[in-house]
Amino acid sequence: MLIAKGYKVTLVLEAGRRVAAPASYALLHDPAGRDWPRCSALVAPFRKGGGQIENSEAKSYFGSDPRAGSVTMPARSLSGWRRVGAVEQILYSRRRPGNLPASHKADYEHPFKEGKATLYRRGRLLRVELGPGCVWNWRGFVTP
């Protein structure tokens, strides 16, 4: 299951170039790696909808029960994605729809170790490959 871990996503590339995702796009992550590679972040349109769901990973991340939503999944294979460049930093915002309570609402930024994160594009979709051994926690990215 993918978890929408943030919105208003901006990626800062080498030499300061910025790639901002459309406002309706979410930063998506699958902690189990079943529906999307575990060390890959997908930035894609996410439609919020449905009631609250039970997911302990998402609840830990948001500080409250998560809500259901939907996303159209692109191909997992990198063969259809175009390499854009190395990512130096990611900026994103964590909010709850309808002003629902959440203890972890904030704007977040995470610098990546040099050369450890790579941005790919497929049409308007974005994908950040983090490399093997990546770690996410309740705050978001830990490594790389």
pLDDT, tens digit, 9 for 90 and up, residues 107-118: 889 999 888 999
Domain count, the chain: 1
CA dihedral defined by 49, 127, 22, 82, rounded to 10 degrees? -140
Q: Write the DSSP symbol of residue 112.
A: P
- CB count, 10 Å around CB of 52? 12
Domain hosting 138: range is 3-143
pTM: 0.83
Per-residue pLDDT of the chain (144 residues; tens, 9 = 90+): 788 888 899 999 998 999 999 988 999 999 889 999 999 999 999 877 665 556 556 555 555 566 656 788 999 999 999 999 999 999 998 765 555 455 666 788 999 988 899 999 999 999 999 998 999 876 678 899
